[in-house]
Amino acid sequence: MRSVLRTIASVILGFIVASIVMMIVESINGRVLHPNLAKAAEGIKDRESMRALMASAPVTALLVVIIGWILGSIYGGWVAVRVAGRSSIRPGLVVGVLLTLAGLANNLMLPPPLWFWFASLVVFIPAAYLGARLASAR
């Protein structure tokens, strides 16, 4: 029972760490790299205006978000496996699946371009797997 609780806690902590890393990268993106885009997004209340803004967003702004998602997933997968204290990479993969679901929910709320949808489906699990493998190799 203790092992199960530890594994559950490791997944939750991995998800939290991943989210923090992603928020840091996205904050840098909005405050340093693309402040005009962040300022334009502040006042938007309707879905169509947000869709138009996302369609006109520089590709570099969206790529930075993807990079943040990759880095967050790697760290989240790594933390999940290290906290679980097992040689299994499953906690890291669970973090990857949860992040994928969160990314899909994010895309439903803020409709991005089609290529970004595809990236949302393919970045989280492989990156979390990489983090989990790095943690289990130690």
Over residues 9-18, the pLDDT tens digits come to: 999 999 999 9
Confidence at residue 14, expressed as pLDDT on a 0 to 100 scale: 98
Confidence at residue 47, expressed as pLDDT on a 0 to 100 scale: 80
Confidence at residue 50, expressed as pLDDT on a 0 to 100 scale: 82
Distance CA 61, CA 117 (A): 15
List, for residues 27-71, the tens digit of each pLDDT value. Answer: 999 889 988 888 888 878 788 888 888 888 899 999 999 999 999
Confidence at residue 138, expressed as pLDDT on a 0 to 100 scale: 66
Q: Of 71, 69, 68, 41, which is closest to residue 57 (Cα–Cα)?
A: 41
Confidence at residue 39, expressed as pLDDT on a 0 to 100 scale: 85
Confidence at residue 54, expressed as pLDDT on a 0 to 100 scale: 83
With a cut of 90, say whether residue 133 has pLDDT above it: yes
pTM of the shown model: 0.90
List, for residues 83-126, the tens digit of each pLDDT value. Answer: 998 778 999 999 999 999 999 999 888 888 889 999 988 999 99
Distance CA 69, CA 23 (A): 9
> How many residues in total does the chain contain?
138
Q: Of 117, 102, 88, which is closest to residue 18 (Cα–Cα)?
A: 102
